[in-house]
Structure 1
Amino acid sequence: MANDAKGEGIRNLDEQLCFAVYSTAHAFNRLYRPFLAELGLTYPQFLAMLVLWERDGQTVTAIGDRLLLDSGTLTPLLKRLEGAGLVERRRSRDDERQVQVHLTAQGRALRDKAGATDNAVPCAVEDSAVDKERLLADVLALRGALLRAAGAGN
């Protein structure tokens, strides 16, 4: 462990959990980039499409909650997906304050093309000693703990 100017310990970069997670996210983005380029999507757009492929017609709020994104980030993303002809945003008939997002035929058809992307990570991790199911559970538990800690400060 390295020491700072005051003599207090601070972990080196490679010992920082936050850096390990951050740099792993970048590695995922690099892995996904060629597949997503073929789909014409950015990674955040792909995530929004995943949510809609699971259940079409969700509200912007529900999509944002699922992706942990605020409306200021999500709305421009959805506008770009709409401009690409993949989704359509409509006011809810039940509550006009709510905007629902629906897949277009083109957006539904993109799901089949996206199958290759879904296989990219298992293929990349296949030869490693990583237990994917355990890792996913651990990462989700970590995310939950971090969100609880961040919420405690509000």
Structure 2
Amino acid sequence: MAKEQLKLNNQLCFPLYAATREMTKRYQPLLKELDVTYPQYLVLLVLWEEEIITVKALGNRLYLDSGTLTPMLKRMEDRGILTRRRSIEDERVVEVELTALGKEKEHLAEEIPTKFIEGTKLTEEEYHQLKVILTKLMQKPD
């Protein structure tokens, strides 16, 4: 018999994992009109906030390493959503910027957060509490 702390139902990691998979699945129909994947949507969210951002800063914001981020950015660039270029100040730095097409997608995305939240069945208070708790979990230990 498994020790109590080793039971699946007593793990925090499992509901987080399952909820993340479910959340990503729920975003798929909402992202159809944008014609992007969920990770690409996250890139767009950052780029709609920032006009130009370095790949390193983008990776930090999204908690993604360059090995994951670079191929995704290349696919988005190939589709005309964004451009990547070397910084004028430092050639080692790559900057990312939305194209006109990438900027147009923001208008298509305006209702996505509301539709997603409505689909969760969480109250506004529960939604904000959960966001605060998850943000706390994302912080790196000292």
So what's the TM-score if we normalise by structure 1?
A: 0.85
CA-CA distance at 1:135 after TM superposition: 1.2
Are 2:75 and 1:80 equivalent residues in the alignment? Answer: yes
Unpaired segments ≥5 residues, structure 1: none
Query: Following TM superposition, by how much is the alpha carbon of 1:10 offset from its aligned partner in structure 2, in angstroms?
Result: 3.5
Higher RCO (Cα < 8 Å, 6 or more apart) = 2
The offset of 1:131, in angstroms, is: 1.4
Alignment of 1:2-151 (within 5 A): 3-4=1-2, 8-126=3-121, 128=123, 131-144=126-139, 147-148=140-141
Bigger shift: residues 78-87 or 110-119 = 110-119
1:14 Cα offset (Å) = 2.5
- Larger Rg over CA atoms: 1
Contact kept? 1:89, 1:102, Cα under 8 Å: yes
Query: In percent, how many aligned pairs have the same letter?
Result: 39
- State the shift of 1:122 in Å: 1.8
Displacement of 1:120 after TM fit?
2.1
Q: What amino acid does structure 1 have at the position aligned with 2:63?
A: L
Rounded to whole Å, the distance in 2 between the matches of 1:43 and 1:130 is 25
Q: After the TM superposition, list the runs of 4 or more consecutive aligned residues in structure 1 that deviate by more than 6 angstroms.
A: none
The amino acid of 2:4's aligned partner reads G
User: CA distance change for structure 1 residues 88 and 17 in 2, over 3 Å: closer, same or farther?
Assistant: same
Moved more, 11-20 or 37-46: 11-20
Q: Which runs of 5+ in 2 are unaligned?
A: none
Distance 1:129 1:61, change over 3 A: closer
TM-score by length of 2: 0.91
Report if aligned partners of 1:64, 1:70 keep a CA contact under 8 Å in 2: yes
Paired AA for residue 62 in structure 1: A
Residue 30 (structure 1) shift: 1.3
Aligned Cα root-mean-square deviation (Å) = 1.7
Q: Determine helix, strand or coil for the equivalent of 1:131.
A: helix
Contact 1:91 1:97 (C-alpha < 8 Å) held by counterparts? yes
